[in-house]
Structure 1
Amino acid sequence: MVYLFTHFGYLLLLNLIRNPMKLRYYTLLFLLFSSSLVFAQNHSFDDAQSLFDDGKYSAAQALLNQLSSGHSANAEAMFLNAKCSKALFLSDAELLYEELNEYFPYHQFKQEVNADLALINYRNKDYSNAISYFLELDSLSNEFIFKLAYASFSIGSLVDAQYYFSKLIGTVSKYSSTAQYYYAYIAYERGFYKSALVSFNKLLNDEKFGNIVPYYISQIYFFQKEYKQLIAFAKPLSEKVIASRKSEVNRLLAEAYFRTKDYENAIIHFEVFLEEEKEGNSVVHFLLGQAYYNSKNYLSAISSLEKVSNSADSLMQNSAYFLGASYLMTDNKNYALQAFKKSSEYNYNPILKEEAFYNYAKLSFQLELPFENTLAALKTYLESYNNPLHKKIIEDLMVKSLQSTSQYSEAYNALVDIHLLTNSQQIALQQLAFFLGVKEYNQQNFKDAISYFIVANRYPINDDYSYLTNYWLADCYFQLSNFDKSIAIYSNLSVSSNKNLSDYESLKSYNLAYSYFQNSDYSNAIKWFRTYEKTAIDSMKLNDTYFRIADGYFMSSDFSLAQKYYNKAIAYNLFDVDYGIYKCSVSLGLIGKNKSKVKLLKQIIADYSASSYYDNSLYDLAKYYKNTQQNDLAIKYYDDLLIATKDENLIADAYLSKGMIYFNSSKTNEAIVEFLFVVNNYQQTIYFKEAISGLQAAYSSLAQIDKYLAVIEGLPSVSISRAEQDSLTYNAAFMKFSELEYKVAK
């Protein structure tokens, strides 16, 4: 059919070209047909528009679909079609808008499309996309601003939400009070209570929110600790409160009265709260119990405190303590013992912990508990606390008791085997791992200690234990020569607020300095040693600090400061004085203060004959006198060194140096004796070859090359060719000839 139509069209066109009259006729006919078609389309679109305006969206869309079926749809028709789907809540609405944008990217409905897409996404709770489309609009109505704000609020963008809600506050619109509420609520959620309070107060007389905001205002007063204002505001509210808010208002009032120490009113409102809540909660039972305790109603206090749930936190520590105190006031010591023991096992309040353990230890004795339990309690108190008012009493009880048992390893292993630890178990494991780590450290089992400390660090609940754990962990790595890790841990160890750990803070600087020193980072080592120097109270460590600062400057080639700190260390006169004197002498020599250097070396020789630096001092003196051509003194100190030392290198160097002195003083035969001693006895030292060279020079000067060669022949490690022998003989003869000793030269 396509072929026939095409062929027919071709023949018709050929016929029209040949007949101009027919061509004009058919052209006119085509134009009339096209005009009628456009007219029909426009008429259909107008009908669709009319149906849309009348709210007959399905009928309008049916006409629009007929228009688009001929592939002649325009942007206006596609836009109206999409709006029909939107109005009918059809799922293809968004797709139709997107097709419009795709087919007609420059259409005139951009703003309307973005607005509709924003509303569709908002309606579908796709708030992120809704926000994107709202922000594409050139201007926003109050409705759109509100929806943009609410969409931001719904996805957690509270700052943006608060900003957009603020634009509606004070406007004459139905959104004004709602925007004010959300603005206040966001400020409340973000902790900006002052701002929230101002905004909530503006809604107190609002028809919609007037019954809601008083509860937020009450909570804000509570969070701000404005308890008197809370009481003044919420007390009238409690008398006409709605049922769903009754428990909340009474709890706030109860806690406010409690904080102002009005325990009678606190009890009244706590009781109302508990009546409403039926089950209550641990915090309320504790506060009510404490209110009864402070009102001296101990039986009621016991009843309330016993209802506090068994949780490992500061609440439990306080609750157990006041429960114990209430039992004690009713002379129920067995129950008091258990309650005080429980309270003493928590570390949240150190003062309460000490007081609880004091009562527990005392009751252990009074109730005649088994010997080991009683003594353990008394001994632990004395080891852990230093309250002078309690210590004397416990010491008196200790006279009648003895005990010592600590099964740390067994407790540790049991805790490690538990899959999910409670908070109290984590606290215990942190402490046990720390104690066992210290034990291994003291036995120099540093790798095992590290393993325990790493476990303790998994539960950094108690700040003091956490601090000490990392302190000793860093020291373990130092002992294992892993100075990089040691430095890293010491550097990250935060300052402890516990005054009892102030000594560790000072020692941290000392140990960090040593880590840098051992890592050859002398600049940082000096910095931290000098930091320690300012706070040091341990004279031994301060003395050592001076040595290490001096060593750091020495290794950094700052010999002036090095000798200054060596002198500080020497002045302390606690240990290693000979080391300080010797190193100071070396530093002085390197800055040209040779007289002072010689004086210090002689001091070592005179006062420290057993020093490990004695030999070096003799050697340095001999070398100094040799270099300054004071040969007799040089020979003397070399001889003293040879008597004193067993160091082969020093001995070989001394004989070699004496030989050189003799040779340069024209005492050639004496020089030969010294050189030969080195050659024959110290062939494994670095001075052997120098002695060979000296021997060659000495024999050559005497024209006794044959003797030199005889010596060489007896040395298996040295060989000399015939040509070299002839050269030596010739050179020796020539030298004598030059000296006019013809007979010898011959």
Structure 2
Amino acid sequence: MKNTYIVQKKIKIHLLLSVFLFVYSVQSFAQKTKNYDDPINTYLNALSLFSKEKYPAAYTEFDKYLEESGNPHSENYEDAVYHKAVCALNLYQNDAVYLLENFIRNYPESPKVKLAYFQLGNYFFRKKKYKDVVKWYAKIDKYDLSTDELAEYYFKNGYAYFMLKDYAKAKVNFFEIKDTDTKYTAPARYYYAHIAYEEGNLETAYKTFKQLEGDPKFKVVVPFYLVQILYKQGKYDELLSYAPVVMDTTKKLKRSEEIARLVGESLYRTGRYEDAIPYLSQYVEKHTYDATPLDFYQLAYAYHNAKKCNKAEKYYQKAINGKVDSISQMAYYNLAKCYLKENNKKYAREAFYKAFEYDYDKEVKEDALFNFAKLS
């Protein structure tokens, strides 16, 4: 009986020991599995945060993964190094450029090296360091970029060259996307048209600016260019059909006073002097300090031809700027005529003599002398 008890006791001890060993081995395996899974979970969490543009949290998670992984030769490790550097760029960290350049040095065969060039170009674009933009973009193989990235590349590269005053290269880049459908298409069209305008390619500029008339960002800017182009081309009737309408219908229109001036000058050049007065006056009154003698002269002449000499005199006097030029000669000559209409012979005589002293228009000079003599 005693022996039976001892045997049973030994069996219990063995059973307990077996259970203990089994539980221990399961816990040990679970711990090992947990330790193996944790870096992967960290990596996946970091990628998720990065995709949501939560760069501070993503940076921390990528950094944590790199510490946990311990395998710098794995694909995930390489990927984490790249994404951590991109996070740093987006956070404007002082070591951001170093981190990405370090990635390029350490993983020269990585397919993400070309993307690293793109990220560095974008970073320097945000910093407005345009020489660095074109430097890094020059390393990119455009075929490695997605459709959206390619549009971004062409616009930012074009804009960088534009700011560096290399308009030929800027134009080439803008041309690539000006007829596409991306978020960079409208600004690319604008700068392409602006360059064409500055180069005197008015027809191309006009057609390209016209494409921006309905764009929310540019519809307040392009009318000024369109009006200027029509004015330069001498298409005054077309200008007069377009400009007053756009002035009435476009809120917050940019450079509206200058558009008014061009409308006024178009009316002036087509002999519609009285109609020109409100537009010329609008510009002159709002540009008292930077209106030119020609601006004052045209307004004076419009008043003069509308038989409003009392108002014309004021602007003829402003057109006389103390310089020896043709505008001053004509201003004195027509001012004298206004004085004559008001029977102010003394002032008329003095103004005719002043007009005679200029040598720009010989006929005006001779007629001024003739009238001066008549009044003497």
**TM-score, reference length from structure 2:** 0.73
Asked whether the equivalents of residues 337 and 363 of structure 1 are also in contact (C-alpha less than 8 Å), the reply is: yes
Q: Give the secondary structure class of the aligned counterpart of 1:284.
A: helix
CA distance in 2, matches of 1:316, 1:68: 83
- Shift, 1:278, TM fit: 6.3
Map of 2:11 onto structure 1: none
Q: 1:263 to 1:351 in 2, by over 3 A?
A: same
Q: Give the secondary structure class of the aligned counterpart of 1:170.
A: coil
Map of 1:144 onto structure 2: 153
Q: Give the secondary structure class of the aligned counterpart of 1:307.
A: helix
Asked whether the equivalents of residues 263 and 276 of structure 2 are also in contact (C-alpha less than 8 Å), the reply is: yes
- 2:207 is matched by which residue type in structure 1? V
- 1:318 is matched by which residue type in structure 2? M
Map of 2:223 onto structure 1: 214
Asked whether the equivalents of residues 308 and 316 of structure 1 are also in contact (C-alpha less than 8 Å), the reply is: yes
- 2:198 is matched by which residue type in structure 1? E
CA distance in 1, matches of 2:63, 2:96: 15
Asked whether the equivalents of residues 289 and 305 of structure 1 are also in contact (C-alpha less than 8 Å), the reply is: yes
Q: 1:170 to 1:366 in 2, by over 3 A?
A: closer
Q: 1:124 to 1:133 in 2, by over 3 A?
A: same
- Shift, 1:81, TM fit: 3.2
Structure number with higher relative contact order (C-alpha < 8 Å, ≥ 6 residues apart) = 2
1:359-378 equivalent positions in 2, closer than 5 A:
359-360=368-369, 363=372, 367=376
Residue 110 in 1 paired to residue 87 in 2?
A: no
CA distance in 2, matches of 1:208, 1:71: 48
Residue 189 (structure 2) aligned to one of 171, 180, 193: 180
- Shift, 1:332, TM fit: 3.0
Q: 1:91 to 1:366 in 2, by over 3 A?
A: same
- Shift, 1:174, TM fit: 2.6
Q: 1:95 to 1:351 in 2, by over 3 A?
A: farther
Asked whether the equivalents of residues 128 and 155 of structure 1 are also in contact (C-alpha less than 8 Å), the reply is: yes
Q: 1:108 to 1:324 in 2, by over 3 A?
A: same
Q: 1:86 to 1:48 in 2, by over 3 A?
A: farther
Map of 1:127 onto structure 2: 130
1:294-693 equivalent positions in 2, closer than 5 A:
294-308=305-319, 310-312=321-323, 313-347=325-359, 349-351=360-362, 355-356=364-365, 359-360=368-369, 363=372, 367=376
1:137-286 equivalent positions in 2, closer than 5 A:
137-139=140-142, 140=145, 141-242=150-251, 245-274=255-284, 277=287, 281=291, 282-286=293-297
CA distance in 2, matches of 1:191, 1:132: 30
**TM-score, reference length from structure 1:** 0.39
CA distance in 2, matches of 1:157, 1:218: 27
- Shift, 1:215, TM fit: 2.9
- 1:180 is matched by which residue type in structure 2? R
Asked whether the equivalents of residues 48 and 59 of structure 1 are also in contact (C-alpha less than 8 Å), the reply is: no
CA shift digits 1:200-220 (9 cap, x unpaired): 223333444344323321121
Gaps of 5+ in 2: 1-33, 51-56
Residue 89 in 1 paired to residue 92 in 2?
A: yes
CA shift digits 1:2-26 (9 cap, x unpaired): xxxxxxxxxxxxxxxxxxxxxxxxx
Q: Give the secondary structure class of the aligned counterpart of 1:310.
A: coil
CA distance in 1, matches of 2:81, 2:153: 24
Residue 47 (structure 1) aligned to one of 42, 51, 66: 42
CA distance in 2, matches of 1:46, 1:345: 92
- Shift, 1:42, TM fit: 10
Q: 1:171 to 1:359 in 2, by over 3 A?
A: closer
Aligned pairs, number: 326
- Shift, 1:311, TM fit: 4.7
CA shift digits 1:208-241 (9 cap, x unpaired): 4344323321121111111111112223334435
CA shift digits 1:488-507 (9 cap, x unpaired): xxxxxxxxxxxxxxxxxxxx
CA shift digits 1:165-184 (9 cap, x unpaired): 22213323233333223322
Asked whether the equivalents of residues 168 and 176 of structure 1 are also in contact (C-alpha less than 8 Å), the reply is: yes
Q: Which moved further from structure 2: 277-286 or 120-129? A: 277-286
CA shift digits 1:310-341 (9 cap, x unpaired): 25244333323322332344343443344345
Greater Rg by CA: 1
Map of 1:57 onto structure 2: 58
Cα RMSD, aligned residues only: 3.6
Q: 1:243 to 1:356 in 2, by over 3 A?
A: farther
Q: 1:130 to 1:256 in 2, by over 3 A?
A: same
- Shift, 1:50, TM fit: 3.5
- Shift, 1:85, TM fit: 1.0
CA distance in 1, matches of 2:41, 2:252: 59
Q: 1:217 to 1:148 in 2, by over 3 A?
A: same
- Shift, 1:199, TM fit: 1.5
State the identity as a percent.
Answer: 27
- Shift, 1:258, TM fit: 0.6
- Shift, 1:104, TM fit: 4.5
CA shift digits 1:98-137 (9 cap, x unpaired): 2333445444432021011111111111122112222322
Asked whether the equivalents of residues 42 and 62 of structure 2 are also in contact (C-alpha less than 8 Å), the reply is: no
CA distance in 2, matches of 1:266, 1:297: 13
CA shift digits 1:145-180 (9 cap, x unpaired): 222222222322223222222221332323333322
CA distance in 2, matches of 1:257, 1:44: 76
